[in-house]
Amino acid sequence: MKYRVTHSTEFDYGLPVISAQQVLRLKPRDMFGRQTLKRHDISLSIPGTEILESQDYFGNTVHEVRLHTRHEKLRIDSECEVDVSPRDDILLDLSPSWETVREFVSVPETTEHWQAAQFCFPSRHVDAIAAKEFALQFAEPGLPLLRLVLNINTYIHKKFAYKGGVTDVYTKVSEVIKNKMGVCQDFAHVAIATVRALGLPARYVSGYILSNPDGQTLVGAEASHAWISVFCPEFGWVDFDPTNDQITSEQHITLGWGRDYADVAPTRGSILGGGRQSLNVDVRVRSVT
């Protein structure tokens, strides 16, 4: 499926900002066989801004923007065309038992297992230790790994309420588990914490989701979306969307991944000056032929 995505971010700082630095992760990844990036443009409302492009540790493209001119508002426009292939090779019950996978990554022998091993531990937004008790209910002995992750996914989808404005970037996993509500980012963090609490590798994926495929509305379409990816020796990294109770296929467009939100936030900035800041994000995903 081919998509065209426009993603605009508007900062209104209230008072003049005298200098600002932003790190943007807005360029979709090229993923062999899954996702092809046809075109990507990024533009800023302040002309002549220095933009440095580089890659981060996880291979995501990073644009670092430096503004040393006075401004009160900043608008960042990102526009792309992406081709996403369906994923139909996943057979849940053919995946190895979760205990086997845990063994693989705790004493890794291949490069692939070493790569995966980095995603087994707590990170800034993922307090896996706090999810230990919550995770126990999913630890059915001998269960195929992907089946176990799907159970976590479904549980979160069923028992947690999608509700904006009750959480923020720094809401802890333990609070989301307790209050059972939040947005896609919180659900992703809870799911990752649960998977990691069992000693298994999980990463955070940032991206977009098609708003209205076949008349059915998916949650998380108006803004950037987030879901998780779990390493499974037979299939590689498999993506699950706990917000929509899905194994992702053709409707998810991947921007990038990391250990949690902090590694792949679409925008992250540091400003000098400014007053009360407001942020307005607008994401439009359209399928094109």
Partner 1 sequence: MSEASQPLFTLPHYNVPDNAYDELARGFIPAHWQRVMSFFSGPKDLSGAPQPEHLRAEMLVRDLDVERPTRLDPLPFTLPASEWRALEKGLTQRAQVLNQITADLYGPRTLLNVGGLPPALIYGNPRFLLPMYNYRSTASEYLHLIGFDIGRSPDGHWRVLADWTEAPEGLGMCLENRVLAGQSLPDLFQRMGTQRLQAFFRAYAHHLAQRAAETTAEGITVIMSPGPDNPNYFEHAYLGQYFGFPVVEGADLTVRGQTLQLKTLEGLKPVGSVIRHSRGTQCDQLYLDPRTRDGVAGLANIARSGHVHMANALGSGVLENDAFMSFLPSLCESLLDEELLLPSLATWWCGQEEEKAYVAEHKDELYVGSAFARPELFAASIESYQKPNANADLQSKEPYDEIGRELIQLSHSPYVNKKGHIVSGPTVLRLFVGLTEEGYRLMPGGIARVATEDGEISKDIWISQNAAGKIKAPVAVVSSTARRSDRDLPSRTADDLFWLGRYLERCEGAVRAYRCLFSHVAEGSTEDQQMLMQTVVQLLVDLDMLPPQQARQLRQSSSKPLLAREWWTILFDPTNQVGLVKLLANIHRLANQVRERLSGDAWRMFNALSQIPQQQRWRLGNVSDALTLMDQFIERLSGLNGQIQENMTRSYGWRLLELGRRLERGQFGLQVMDELVTQKTSSTYMYLLLDLCDSAITYRARYQNVPTLDNLLHLLLLDDTNPRSIIYQITRIQRVMADMPLDQSNEGLSESQRILLVAYHELLLAEPAKMASIVSRAGNRTQLRRVLRRMEATLSNLSELMTATYFAHTHNTPTSQ
Q: Which residues bind partner 1 (CB under 8 A)?
A: 18-19, 21, 23, 48-50, 54, 56-57, 64, 66-70, 105-108, 111, 114, 117-118, 120-122, 124, 129, 170, 259, 262-263, 265, 268-270, 272-273
Minimum distance of partner 1 from residue 62's CB (angstroms): 9
Minimum distance of partner 1 from residue 270's CB (angstroms): 4
Residues 157 and 220 sit within 8 Å (Cβ to Cβ):
no
Minimum distance of partner 1 from residue 117's CB (angstroms): 4
Minimum distance of partner 1 from residue 16's CB (angstroms): 8
Cβ nearer to partner 1, comparing 14 with 213 = 14
Cβ nearer to partner 1, comparing 6 with 174 = 174
Minimum distance of partner 1 from residue 50's CB (angstroms): 5
Cα separation of 129 and 112, whole Å? Answer: 25
Minimum distance of partner 1 from residue 133's CB (angstroms): 11
Cβ nearer to partner 1, comparing 75 with 268 = 268
Cβ nearer to partner 1, comparing 105 with 221 = 105
Instruction: Kindly report the number of other CB atoms within 10 A of residue 266's CB atom.
Output: 22
Dihedral pair phi/psi, residue 82, rounded to 5°: -135, 145
Cβ nearer to partner 1, comparing 122 with 266 = 122
Q: Dump the DSSP string for 44-90.
A: ESSTT-EEEEEE-TTS-EEEEEEE-S-EEEEEEEEEEEEEE------
Cβ nearer to partner 1, comparing 117 with 219 = 117
Q: Dump the DSSP string for 82-147.
A: EEE-------GGGSPBHHHHHHHHHS--SHHHHHHHGGGS-BTTB-GGGGHHHHHTT--TT-BHHH
| 58: nearest Cα among 29, 85, 84, 34 | 29
